[in-house]
Every structure is written in C-alpha cells, then in structure tokens.
Amino acid sequence: MALLPILRYPDPRLHTVAAPVAGVDEDIRRLIADMAETMYEAPGIGLAATQVDVHKRIVVIDVSEDRSDLRALINPEIIERDGEQVHEEGCLSVPGIYEKVTRAERVKVRALNDKGEPFEFEADGLLAVCVQHEIDHLDGKVFVEYLSQLKLGRIKSKLAKKARITA
Ligand code: GNR
Ligand code: NI
C-alpha cells in the first residue's frame, strides 16, 4: 500500500473529467487500496481518484465513526435523487475551508464493486452528501465552485496567502 499525494485547489488538474473504468483488474484494486489508505490517513470521509491525479471514475467513501465501512465505487452514477439538504462541507483538496452547500437529501447510486459487479444502494444524510461531493470531483467540480463569486474570491486569496507561507 502507498500514500498518494493529494492535489490542492486551484490546481487545474482538479477540473479534469475522469474517464469510465473499462475493466476492473489488479491495478484498479491496488489503486483503490492506496486511495483508501490515503483517505484514512488524511483523515477524510471520501476521496475521488481525481484528487490523486488519476482521471478514472473511482471513489472511496467511509462515513462511519469507527472507520469500518469502506465503500469503493467504480463508475458511480446517481440514478435517482430527491429532496434537499444543506450541509457544511470540507475537502481534502481545499484544506481549512468549510462552507454550506445545498444538495439532494436522498440519492440512489449504481456502481461497480471491486470485482467489477454492478450494485445499487440508497443513501441519505452525510453519505448522500459525500457521494455527490465525490462524483462532482470525477466531473472536474470542486465544492467551492457552488459558492458565490465573492466567497470564492476570498477563498482563493486565503489559499494563495497560505501557499506563500508554506512554500
Ligand atoms: O473528508 C471530507 N469531509 C467532508 C465533509 C462534508 C462533506 C464532504 C466531505 S468529503 C471530504 C473528503 C474529500 O475531499 N473528498 O473529496
Ligand atoms: Ni473533496
């Protein structure tokens, strides 16, 4: 297993649209294991392959308290959505920034598992938020892009200032 470096906003590579996985093989399973290790170490509740500069449609998620409920989703698709919820979000690619985002309250998701088999599940609450946040990454979208231009501008200067200090 290996820890993978996480891209930081506004890295333009975060805007890459990820390609579907054509076949689930040992390389994909190794990537999933490395992504899970990277997510747990961060620590985070989800990680999209986009964030580790791999532009394939793969995400890992674990919203459980005890970090015992790892889900790997390959080629995930939201096939039903309803309701609305507002949740404060953060992102490993935008460290230190937490803002409220409005998303669907409930989603039904179809994906492949790490054996390449299709499966479906329904999610609400934080898991639904996380699924939507991760699929956005695969589509090249970062949560701060839902915010007003004013807020986004302030976030960009804050991150630029921090990058100058840590560089
Ligand atoms: O760790 C994370 N926490 C989080 C909190 C609220 C809404 C979404 C998230 S996902 C984030 C990890 C991450 O950046 N995934 O892409
Ligand atoms: Ni994120």
Six token digits for residue 133: 């946040």
For atom 14 of ligand 1, the residue with the nearest CA is 91
pLDDT digits (tens, 9 = 90+) for 126-158: 999 999 999 999 999 999 999 999 999 999 999
pLDDT, position 166: 77
Amino acid at 42: A
pLDDT, position 1: 86
Residue 155 and residue 139: Cα distance in Å, rounded? 21
Q: Which of 7, 9, 35, 45 to mutate to test the pocket of ligand 1 (most atoms within 8 A of CB)?
A: 45
CA distances from 86 to 126, 140, 160 (A): 10, 21, 27
Q: What is the pTM of this model?
A: 0.98
User: Catalytic residue among 26, 84, 134, 145, which?
Assistant: 134
Closest-approaching ligand to the CA atom of 60: 1
